């Protein structure tokens, strides 16, 4: 970090000065570390987040809603969305992240673990010690090891988890006969996601630099539990409207 100005101020009622470092047009609160009789400014308190990246794998759009709700509470002007759901994202070049932006990475939970497709696409991200909020969305049963697995995936990709959350969404197999968390996230759920984002916003204003942060602890088992095989499911054809185009056939074979 290039040093431009170092300003020392003594707060009212205190004896020791608080130092502020101006670097790259941003002020950082710092402490002084003495090493080899030289004064070295070290960033310790304030992180300057300039933009927000919303990254999600969301086949039913439920995870996307949760991530968007959190983003509203964080209140960052510059927001970029990275949808990892389309199959074409498997072929895109790795997405590079900057150190001065905050990412929110969200994934649904399948049988207590992350979806395999989500893991493969998340592995194409490249963090630069980028702070990240990790989020999993489960169908009102249990998220088991999914949050821990997501934390480990983003750590390997170069991110620094700063907050984590697990939210309920309508189960992908929910229907009128067997409703499972129908209509979730509802208005109250989305209010809570925004509230969670506001807490993160406040936390980021008083947070250490990523290099100095301890590892974020989240629930889960290590090693992870073995995933349960998903039931074989496929679309039900309505014979009265089917025109035999066979567009759904490759999708059924890939499930």
State the DSSP H helix or E strand holding residue 149, giving kind and residue range, or none if neither. Answer: helix 146-156
Selected residue with higher pLDDT from 27 and 108: 108
Name all domains of the chain by residue range, CATH numbers in brackets. Answer: 5-43 (no CATH), 51-212 (3.40.50.360)
Report the percentage of the chain scoring pLDDT > 90.
Answer: 45
Summarised one tens digit per residue, pLDDT across range 1-24 is: 333 344 444 444 444 444 454 445
d(CA 122, CA 158): 11
Q: Are 197 and 70 in contact (CB under 8 A)?
A: yes
Query: End-to-end distance of the chain based on CA atoms, in angstroms?
Result: 49
Backbone angles phi, psi at 237, to 5 degrees: -80, 130
Segment 97-118 shows an average pLDDT of 92
What SS3 state is found at 176? coil
Q: Is the preceding peptide bond at 74 cis, omega within 30 degrees of 0?
A: no
Q: Residues near 209 by Cβ (< 8 Å), separated by ≥ 6?
A: 43, 44, 47
Average pLDDT over residues 171-197: 88
Per DSSP, what are the bridge partners of residue 5? Answer: 22
For the CA atoms of 191, 201, 136, 170, the dihedral, rounded to the nearest 10 degrees, stands at: 10
Element containing residue 146 per DSSP (H, E): helix 146-156
The pLDDT score that the predictor gives to residue 33 is 43
Task: Please give the pLDDT value at position 104.
Answer: 97
For 149, phi then psi, to 5°, come to: -65, -40
Q: Residue 26's pLDDT is what?
A: 52
DSSP 26-71: EEEEEEEEEETTEEEEEE-S-----EEEEEE--TTSHHHHHHHHHH
pLDDT, mean of residues 200-226: 81
pLDDT band at 235 (very low <50, low <70, confident <90, very high): low
User: Is a pLDDT exceeding 50 seen at residue 43?
Assistant: no
- pLDDT beyond 70 at 146: yes
Kindly report the average pLDDT of the chain as a whole number. Answer: 78
pTM: 0.73
Strands lying side by side in the sheet with 78-83: 78-83, 51-56, 101-108, 130-138, 159-168
Range 217-241 average pLDDT: 79
Task: Tell me what pLDDT residue 65 has.
Answer: 96
């Amino acid at each position: 970090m290039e040093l431009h100005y170092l300003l020392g101020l003594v707060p009212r009622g205190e004896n020791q000065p608080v130092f502020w470092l101006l670097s790259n047009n941003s002020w950082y609160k710092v402490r002084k570390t003495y090493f080899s009789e030289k004064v070295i400014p070290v960033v310790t308190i304030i992180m300057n987040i300039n933009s927000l990246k919303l990254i999600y794998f969301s086949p039913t759009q439920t995870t996307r809603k949760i991530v968007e709700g959190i983003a509203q509470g964080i209140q960052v002007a510059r927001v970029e969305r990275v949808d990892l759901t389309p199959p074409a994202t498997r072929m895109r070049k790795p997405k590079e992240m900057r150190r001065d932006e905050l990412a929110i990475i969200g994934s649904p939970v399948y049988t207590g673990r992350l979806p395999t497709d989500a893991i493969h696409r998340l592995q194409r991200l490249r963090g630069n010690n980028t702070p990240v909020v990790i989020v999993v969305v489960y169908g009102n049963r249990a998220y088991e090891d999914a949050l821990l697995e997501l934390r480990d995936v983003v750590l390997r990709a170069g991110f620094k988890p700063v907050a984590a959350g697990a939210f309920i969404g309508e189960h992908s197999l929910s229907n009128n006969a067997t409703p499972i968390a129908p209509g979730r996230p509802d208005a109250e759920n989305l209010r809570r996601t925004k509230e969670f984002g506001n807490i993160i916003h406040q936390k980021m204003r008083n947070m250490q630099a990523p290099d100095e942060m301890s590892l974020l602890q989240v629930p889960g088992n290590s090693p992870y539990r073995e995933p349960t095989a998903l039931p074989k499911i496929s679309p039900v054809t309505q014979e009265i409207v089917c025109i035999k185009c066979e567009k759904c056939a490759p999708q059924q074979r890939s499930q």
